[in-house]
């Protein structure tokens, strides 16, 4: 799933404006003004469309975690930057909103899909684990849709 769609879906789910998105970016040290955010949220092919890259979506999601949970405790180590994929996007959203397994299952069901606890836990396993499973675009779409149906 492309990062522009993820950012657009999260903005919709959170019911926030471009300025607030810009402020969330700033919490993680990124300087992205509201005009740039507006360009990121445009549909591909529109004039002024700005492609969201891996670093931008990581900065936004890390800022979202800080926004929802507060800054990292002094002395605690940040995880090394990992390649962003659908699994990492779901994991960071899960951390930001402090969602438990049951909450995640309910959110995905609210989005219109049924997932078992075993299928869900496989998404959060370490890559290379025998039960690890890649999160497909459609599952992430259901998850983001389910988030938009909730009050966050």
Give the pLDDT confidence score for residue 83 in this predicted structure.
86
What mean pLDDT value characterizes the chain?
93
Q: What is the DSSP letter of 101?
A: H
| pTM for the predicted model, two decimal places | 0.91
Residue identified by tokens 């998404």 is 123
For residue range 44-102, list pLDDT tens digits in order: 999 999 999 999 999 999 999 999 999 887 766 566 667 899 999 999 999 999 999 99
Provide the 10 A C-beta neighbour count for residue 42: 14
């Amino acid at each position: 799933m492309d990062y522009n769609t993820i950012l657009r879906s999260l903005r919709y789910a959170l019911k926030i404006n471009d300025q607030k998105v810009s402020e969330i970016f700033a919490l993680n040290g990124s300087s992205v003004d509201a005009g740039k955010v507006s360009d990121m949220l445009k549909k591909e092919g529109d004039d002024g469309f700005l492609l969201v890259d891996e670093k931008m979506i990581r900065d936004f999601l890390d800022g979202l975690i800080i926004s929802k949970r507060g800054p990292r405790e002094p002395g605690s180590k940040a995880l090394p930057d990992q390649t962003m994929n659908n699994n990492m996007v779901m994991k960071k959203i899960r951390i930001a909103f402090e969602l438990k397994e049951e909450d995640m299952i309910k959110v995905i069901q609210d989005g219109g899909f049924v997932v078992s606890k075993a299928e869900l836990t496989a998404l959060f396993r370490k890559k290379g684990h025998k039960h690890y499973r890649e999160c497909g675009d459609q599952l992430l779409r259901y998850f983001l849709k389910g988030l938009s149906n909730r009050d966050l």
